[in-house]
Amino acid sequence: MQVREILRVKGATLYTVSPQQSLAFAIDSMAELDVGSLVVMDAGKMVGMLTFREVLLALKGKVATADNLTVSDVMVINPVTVYPDMEANDLRRLMIEKRSRYMPVVEGDTLMGVISFLDVAKAVLEEQSFENKMLKSYIKNWPAETQE
């Protein structure tokens, strides 16, 4: 299974924010949309990623509040990206290695979508369920041995 297949099933809806927007606005957007990440876009290009991890780290023990921080103050600049033809197993390894729950998918200069670890888990589970169903059907329809 490739990343493009996971993205096709998941859908390519992108939730974005600009680097100049307040962190409070981004937090409200994430909560309203029920998402754990936003792609940070500037002049039509991805310039970073904002996830709940960066939000928590930015607010932990700081005097600053979400109202006086901007997205650019806390976003991940140049996030690790993946390509549509990457295999799902390679994607899982990379996500674990980089401790990243969200990976932008790019093809050339085009942002295709964002894949979460949950999206990967769902896709793998569906693929395994399908394979299991096919194997059971194959075994059930196995020709009986003939007695000579």
Tokens 């780290």 sit on residue: 57
Class of domain 3-140: alpha beta
* pLDDT band, residue 124 (cuts 50/70/90): confident
Q: What is the pLDDT of residue 107?
A: 92
Q: What is the mean pLDDT of the chain?
A: 87
14 in helix, strand or coil? coil
Model pLDDT for residues 30-76, shown as the tens digit of each residue: 999 999 999 999 999 999 999 999 999 888 876 667 788 999 999 99
Q: What is the pLDDT of residue 144?
A: 64
Q: Residue 22 is encoded by which pair of tokens?
A: 């307040």
The Cα–Cα gap between 54 and 78 comes to 14
Q: What is the mean pLDDT of residues 107-131?
A: 83
pTM for the model: 0.78
